Chain A
């Protein structure tokens, strides 16, 4: 869940974010780029789940601990996903912009996600669509922006980005966008219904609702 603590002026959040999509679309690469600023042509196939942590200094008074859950893409791991998705507050669905079949599978991943995890208020978790490996597209970006916008509206994605983990294109931007959406959600709960888990975990400073502006 979302845990917020307040130490003087600073606010800390812990967000669980999923990274899902077909096998070999570059999920691990996207995370390694975002967390460690590195890229390698070959990362070992992810078996089950890989966990990464990134601390984001969002603004002068907000610190975000982002748990990134890199989930294996092969169908075989389907029984595990329910356990992996639990309590996530945001997600990236990644496809390989050079392989149409991985885009065709996006819908399946989105449905799986929406069926297995929701926000405490019952809404779907904010999800950003990433078309990765655009460095390998010759002749520039050929996606039809209007159609992609329509697709995202229709399927319930909050946004889409063309990314390259290799060339470091749009990864930070996409993450910022998603975090922003998660923060919006978090702020709206704090106003309306304080997260009981957060209160329980932070008994000594249950000023929680008071600290949100």
Chain B
């Protein structure tokens, strides 16, 4: 696209988001061709498309203030206050370690330990967010001061993870002494320090971006016990947080954490069913979504559909990941963000995603038709870089049109 055309598009975007009454239809139309990279336009457009900002522009400030203070409240209630309690009683170490054996399921400690398991899962996954870029390992300019300040008397999530990792080791040693149950054959060596897997390499007062994401996910999972945390949510929140936390407009960027929480919550409300095991076979669950994509493929390219069928390449082998993660593991981050511009602009979310998946398969047809099972699996799991996002989107739109 030429420079002047790019400028024209930028102007169109800027006008659209500056209107007193935002026209969502127009925003969708603009975004469906990808959002321009300048002026933090994307971060605003995504907030609009995910219904985190009202269409009446004069209400933005009020609404943002409300959301941000609500989020801060969550941080206080879910992390700071319990963390403060722990800090104050933290020296009586051994009394906690034994406590998971407390038969009272309602005990405060019991839920504390359950949360620690949850936290450890989240921790494992956020540390490995987008390992190909350094962004998430870098320090944020806006750490949570209640937690990071040197006077803070709070047990941070960071400390909780380390302690949990340590306790799971010492606990086993203890159990070994008192139990003959066969599953405790394996002895764990004694150590004073959690393994380096759980170390955080940050200077005092700093937090890495992945730690911010960890906090958001922990709060989300505590507030949504029905879904809790499921692997893959990390891959959904990653591009959202990245977009908001690298906003060139510092007034927005400062609130990336709280705003990401709301964008993520709204997005999850739409795709949550894909993450819930008990809904797998329901119409709204992941199997329904996979079947829709396969039906579309059958109508679009029966030959390729038949090939997948014959070679036994099940949707669970590749479409499951494509659909659950909104393609966020299939491309590098800039491409994921571009594709999300388009997916978010779909008024009937996520119908377009089905067509995009179908297009991705059809664009590989020449190779698919001559390859064997193994090579096709590798091809579908490692989508070739040379096929550009615009090509995929074009094809998806064509498929969509031909179905109407």
- A interface, CB within 8 angstroms of B: 14, 23-24, 40-51, 53, 65, 67, 72, 74-80, 83-84, 95, 97-101, 103-104, 106-107, 131, 133, 136-140, 142-144, 147-148, 150-151, 154
Residues in B whose Cβ lies below 8 Å from that of A44: 128-131, 235, 329
With the chains together, A41 CA to B127 CA distance in Å? 10
Taking CB atoms and an 8 Å cut-off, the chain B residues in 254-301 that contact chain A are: 275, 277, 280-281
Taking A48-B324, A100-B172, A142-B189 as contacts, is the C-beta distance between A53 and B231 under 8 angstroms? no
Other than the given A42-B127, A47-B324, A136-B197, 10 more pairs (CB < 8 A) read: A44-B128, A45-B125, A45-B235, A47-B231, A47-B329, A49-B317, A67-B377, A77-B231, A104-B183, A148-B185
Interface check B65, CB cutoff 8 A: no
Taking A44-B329, A47-B329, A154-B182 as contacts, is the C-beta distance between A76 and B230 under 8 angstroms? yes
- Identity of the chain A residue whose Cβ is nearest the Cβ of B124 in the assembled complex: A24
**B195 adjacent to A136 (CB under 8 Å):** yes
**A75 adjacent to B196 (CB under 8 Å):** no
Residues in A whose Cβ lies below 8 Å from that of B350: none
With the chains together, A114 CA to B69 CA distance in Å? 52
What is the interface of chain B mostly: helix, strand, loop, or mixed? helix
Taking A44-B131, A47-B231, A131-B186 as contacts, is the C-beta distance between A79 and B317 under 8 angstroms? no
- Identity of the chain A residue whose Cβ is nearest the Cβ of B123 in the assembled complex: A24
With the chains together, A136 CA to B321 CA distance in Å? 31
Among candidates B124, B171, B320, residue contacting A47 with C-beta atoms closer than 8 Å: B320
**A142 adjacent to B232 (CB under 8 Å):** no
- Identity of the chain B residue whose Cβ is nearest the Cβ of A105 in the assembled complex: B183
Residues in B whose Cβ lies below 8 Å from that of A75: 277
State the Cβ distance, A78 to closest chain B Cβ, in Å: 6
Among candidates B168, B191, B234, B324, residue contacting A100 with C-beta atoms closer than 8 Å: B168
- Identity of the chain A residue whose Cβ is nearest the Cβ of B324 in the assembled complex: A47
Residues in A whose Cβ lies below 8 Å from that of B168: 99-101
Q: Count how many pairs of residues, one from A and one from B, have CB atoms less than 8 Å apart in the complex.
A: 130
Interface check B370, CB cutoff 8 A: no
State the Cβ distance, B332 to closest chain A Cβ, in Å: 12
Residues in A whose Cβ lies below 8 Å from that of B275: 76
State the Cβ distance, B272 to closest chain A Cβ, in Å: 12
Taking A42-B127, A136-B197 as contacts, is the C-beta distance between A47 and B235 under 8 angstroms? yes
With the chains together, A96 CA to B281 CA distance in Å? 32
Taking A97-B186, A98-B188 as contacts, is the C-beta distance between A50 and B127 under 8 angstroms? no
Among candidates A46, A98, A107, A133, residue contacting B183 with C-beta atoms closer than 8 Å: A107
With the chains together, A198 CA to B329 CA distance in Å? 35
25 A/B residue pairs, CB under 8 Å, sorted by A: A24-B124, A40-B131, A42-B131, A43-B128, A44-B129, A46-B231, A50-B381, A51-B374, A74-B230, A74-B231, A76-B277, A77-B277, A80-B316, A80-B320, A83-B316, A98-B188, A100-B171, A131-B186, A137-B188, A138-B191, A142-B189, A143-B186, A143-B187, A148-B185, A151-B185
With the chains together, A180 CA to B235 CA distance in Å? 38
- Identity of the chain B residue whose Cβ is nearest the Cβ of A144 in the assembled complex: B187
Residues in A whose Cβ lies below 8 Å from that of B230: 74, 76
Residues in A whose Cβ lies below 8 Å from that of B190: 139
With the chains together, A80 CA to B184 CA distance in Å? 29
- Identity of the chain B residue whose Cβ is nearest the Cβ of A104 in the assembled complex: B183
